[in-house]
A and B are shown apart, each in its own frame.
Chain A
Amino acid sequence: MKNNILVIGGGPAGLEASANLKRLGYNVILIEKDKQLGGHLAKWDRLFPDGVSARQTLNALLEEVSGVNCFTETQLQSINVLDKSYNAILSNGITVLADAVLLASGFDLFKAEKKEEYGYGIYEGVITNADLEEAFREKKLPSKQPQAIGFVHCVGSRDEKAGNPACSKVCCATAVKQACEVKEVYPDADVYCFYMDLRMFGRHYEDLYLKAQKEFGIRFIRGRVSEVAETADGRLQVKAEDTLSSKPLRVSLDMLVLMAGMRPSESGKTVGRQLNLTTEEDGFFSSADNLLEIQRSKLPGFFYAGACTGAKTLPDTLHEARSAAIEIDRYIKEKFSEK
């Protein structure tokens, strides 16, 4: 009889892990709280560094999970630890006796309105990275040519005041990608990126950064935005500091894009509370070991993949999902071959 594996979360990590577990011969039950699978990937338009379609990437992941029992709009109602397995009751009324559980609850975007000084939800022209992706995806960008557009990096990341001293890892590359994309749509607009440090660490990320400067003329300003206000003609007055020239700066923009970072997901926290899963200071779940057992929790048979253990890029997330599938396979073989 095939062992049951419960996967919580139908984003990229949950999908990729499910596909691999299915290939390894397990009976996978995947639950997703939203109507559709895909997590944040389903809401994105294009992906850094190459600008590939998020939809095509998601479709490729979805193809691989055919045969997996997927329940959308379903959450974990309750879960009990048994001797060698987990008894999970789902919100759709189904009970699953799982020999292993994989938590792939991902992240929530930082609520940009918490950085009140940036005016998200107050000024029409202030949007988030997710809003801009939606505008690209739905082809709803303003038709009126903006004169100037700004991107604010590290919104709710590396910010102790916002309760998150950690880097969200994806915002720099996303900002540079989106800056190039808006410049393609509005070639005459001045585009500014306000950054603390540019963390373009991945393969081809640095190329993207150079391209943004050389081909698109994006202006990179090393300094944080201090406040945003609205001018009499409805534009945005943005104050910042250019720390390289040690000068305060004031610029009028038509659109300001806030790069909202990653926070632990509320749905993940709900699961964590049921099993008393430990978290680190940043609120993300703690792995059994941060080097050798990243996919393992401190509970036997309970595993993690993706951004539930901290901010990750999509390639990192997919690697972790594959790695988690291998770890689960190893655990099942060790645990259930004892008989």
Chain B
Amino acid sequence: MIYEGKKKIWADYQKEIPEDHYFYVRSCIRQSFFPASEATFLDITRNKLGKDIFETKHHTTCGGIAYHSDAIPQETSMTIIARQFALMKKYGYENYVCSCITSFGLYCETLETWREYPELQQKIADNLWKSCRLEFAKPKFLVHASDLIFKYRMQIAAKSKFKLVNQKTGEPLRVVEHIGCHYSKMFPSKGVGGAEYPYVLVGMIEAWGGQIIDYPERRHCCGFGFRQYLIKGNRGYSVSNTHKKFESMEPYKPDMIITNCPGCPYFLDRWQYVIAETQGKTYGENGHGIPVFTYEEVAGLVMGYDPWDLGLQTHQVSVEPLLDKMGIPYDPAKKYLGRNGKDLGQPGKPHCLK
């Protein structure tokens, strides 16, 4: 591996990310699977770093899952997106940041389609006016929330209480990074670092003290792949893709995985349970799995958030071995307590996966 070669490619894929003043839209999937990640993003950016990140309850889904499942036509998803952009303008913003990779890919696709087919853009603008009485607008800058955390990575590092370092050995933690396919594989120029050697998560890990692992199936899909999972009969494809990735990364003994997509952390996390139950195979140390995180969760850990406030108890793969490595204190008794100390109940224990 020639690191300088990678740096050369990264230099070619620099993306302009404004420092401040964003209209924020949430992700349908992440609000269900990792709600604390979005809350952490808002807390870090607004309260810890003092940025202006605006959100409104009036925004909706982007329609991405329905679009990619062929449940709605492209013009419908474009009109939904036009409404989101119109809300941004209505509230006085021109920078748009979205939490979801599926949305980000669809926004890129939509803006590119409008650029290429102005008559279609006009039709969508007409649809928007007829249906919502909103004025058509396009963002000046479109970024993904991970782009923003990448942008703020050094500010986060400056406020960090913990590093991605094994406290016992002093060695950097070995981190697998996995970007969502729709982040830059469709439009490499829209992602920090491009598609083949993306830098967006690598930059965070390097800034926070970790070491990135380059393993052969690094580019491979997490296993979600929309139809691979959404159609029940195809779910074998989904888990076999995930299995392929874990088999490939296993020799490198990763301590953790960081992702920037709604589907990736979910499938990389949950399928480890399925693989363990069906194959009896685990990929972490001593019968544990490899913990999988969103980038907000990793930023939160580095900044000293309570692991249970970050929602890490909702993960299938237990995160305690990683917390111990980083030297992060946690109270096991509070793991399954909800807001105001409400007992959420304990999940059932898998047979193989600790």
Q: Does B2 lie within 8 Å of A123, measured CB to CB? A: yes
Pair A124/B2 contact, Cβ less than 8 Å = yes
B194 located at the interface, meaning its Cβ lies under 8 Å from any Cβ of chain A in the complex: yes
Contact with B along A214-248 (1 / 0, CB 8 A): 00000000000001011110000100000000000
Smallest distance from the beta carbon of A241 to chain B beta carbons, Å?
Answer: 15
Residues of B within 8 A of A123 (CB): 1-2
A124 to B194, CA, bound (A): 21
- Interface segment among A6-14, A77-85, A113-121, A276-284: the answer is A113-121
Residue in A closest to B3 when the chains form the complex, CB atoms? A122
Stretch in B27-35, B215-223, B345-353 with 4+ CB within 8 Å of A = B215-223
Which of chain B's residues have a CB closer than 8 A to the CB of A116? 9, 194-197
B252 within 8 A of A: yes
Instruction: Write out, one digit per residue, whether chain A residues 117-133 have a CB within 8 A of any chain B CB (1) or not (0).
Output: 10001111000000000
Bound-complex Cα distance A122 to B6 (A): 6
Residues of A within 8 Å of B6, CB to CB, are: 122
Residues of B within 8 A of A122 (CB): 1-2, 5-6, 9, 197
Q: Is B341 an interface residue (CB 8 A)?
A: no
Residues of A close to B9: CB separation below 8 A = 113, 116, 122
A231 cross-chain contacts in B, Cβ below 8 A: 216
In the complex, A113 Cα to B1 Cα: how many Å?
14
Q: Is B218 within 8 A of A121, CB to CB?
A: no
* B58 in contact (CB, < 8 A): no
Listed residue (A117, A124, A232) with the most chain B CB atoms within 10 angstroms of its CB: A232
Count of chain A residues with Cβ under 8 Å from any Cβ of B?
13
* Complex Cα gap A229–B248 (Å): 11
| SS class, residues of chain B in contact with chain A | loop
Least Cβ–Cβ distance between B196 and chain A, in angstroms:
4
Considering residues B2, B215, B216, B251, which has the most beta carbons from chain A within 10 angstroms of its beta carbon?
B216
**Contact of A229 with B194 at beta-carbon distance under 8 Å, contacts A121-B8, A122-B1 already known:** no
User: Is B8 in contact with A113, judged by CB distance below 8 angstroms?
Assistant: yes
Question: Contact at A113–B216, with CB atoms within 8 Å?
Answer: no
Closest to A115 in B: B196
With A113-B5, A123-B1 as given contacts, are A232 and B219 in contact (CB-CB < 8 Å)?
no
Within 8 Å CB of B214, what residues of A?
A: 229-230
**B252 — nearest CB in chain A belongs to which residue?**
A232
Contact between A229 and B218, CB atoms less than 8 A apart: yes
Q: Give which listed residue, B5, B8, B216, contacts A229 with CB less than 8 A.
A: B216
Neighbouring B residues of A232 by C-beta, 8 Å: 215, 251-252
**Taking CB as reference atom, which chain B residue is nearest A120?**
B5
Residues B213-237 near A (CB distance < 8 A): 214-219
**Chain A residues positioned under 8 Å from B216 (CB to CB):** 229-231, 237
Chain B residues whose C-beta falls within 8 Å of the C-beta of A124 in the assembled complex: 1-2
Residue numbers in A under 8 Å from B218 (CB-CB): 229
Q: Are B2 and A227 in contact (CB under 8 A)?
A: no
CB distance from A226 to the nearest CB of B (A): 9
Q: Which residues in window 227-276 of B have CB below 8 A to A?
A: 251-252
Tell which of A117, A121, A227, A237 touches B5, judged by Cβ atoms closer than 8 Å: A121
Residue of B nearest to A121 (CB): B5
Docked complex Cα distance between A306 and B226 (Å)? 51
What's the nearest-Cβ distance from chain B to residue A155, in Å? Answer: 15
- Flag if A117 contacts B8 (CB, 8 Å): no
Q: Are B8 and A230 in contact (CB under 8 A)?
A: no
Q: How far is the CA of A116 from the CA of B8 in the complex (A)?
A: 11
- A225 to chain B minimum Cβ distance, whole angstroms, is 13
Q: Are B2 and A121 in contact (CB under 8 A)?
A: yes
Name which residue of chain A comes closest to B196, CB basis.
Answer: A116
Chain A residues in 8 Å Cβ range of B197: 116, 122
Tell me the nearest residue of chain B to A231, going by C-beta. Answer: B216
In angstroms, Cα B219 to Cα A114, docked, is: 18
Task: Tell me the complex Cα distance, A11–B197, Å.
Answer: 37
Q: How far is the CB of A160 from chain B (nearest CB, A)?
A: 15
Q: Mark B1-45, 1 if CB is under 8 A from A, else 0.
A: 110011011000000000000000000000000000000000000
Where the two chains meet, the residues of A that have a C-beta atom closer than 8 Å to any C-beta of B are 113, 116-117, 121-124, 227, 229-232, 237
6 A-B residue pairs with CB within 8 Å: A116-B194, A116-B195, A121-B5, A229-B214, A229-B217, A230-B1
Which 3 pairs across A and B sit closest by C-beta, in order of nearness? Answer: A121-B5, A116-B196, A229-B216
Other A-B pairs, 14, CB within 8 Å; known A116-B196, A231-B216: A113-B5, A113-B9, A116-B9, A121-B2, A121-B5, A122-B1, A122-B5, A123-B1, A123-B2, A124-B2, A227-B196, A229-B217, A230-B216, A232-B251
